[in-house]
Amino acid sequence: MNKTDLIEFVIKETELKRKDATSAVEAVIAGMEKALVEGDKVQIIGFGTFETKVQAAREGRNPATGESIQIPESKTVKFSVGKALKDKVNA
């Protein structure tokens, strides 16, 4: 499912107009992005939790040359599935 599919789903479930459904989906995504950029968790009970984690600097290898390179520290987003969703997926 991509963003367009999600908007279509919202339209069918809520009978909102396309413009309103698009605005709603985009607002939710923007809110989640803002929270994650600010370092906050996004926790949706029953669905899961999105949070940022720091990936430590490490040594890696250039696959083309085999040369050792230093990979700098970076942030990444981690998702932990909620119990209710996990149970539904495994049903």
CATH topology of domain 41-91: HU Protein; Chain A (4.10.520)
> What is the rounded distance in angstroms from the CA atom of residue 19 to the CA atom of residue 33?
21
C-alpha distances in Å from residue 53, one per residue of 36, 38, 79 = 10, 12, 10
What 8-state DSSP symbol labels residue 60?
E
User: C-alpha angle 7/8/12, rounded to 5°?
Assistant: 115
> What is the rounded distance in angstroms from the CA atom of residue 77 to the CA atom of residue 91?
27
Domain ranges across the chain: 1-40, 41-91
pLDDT tens sequence for the chain (91 residues) = 999 999 999 999 999 999 999 999 999 999 999 999 999 999 999 999 999 999 999 999 999 999 999 999 999 999 999 999 999 999 9
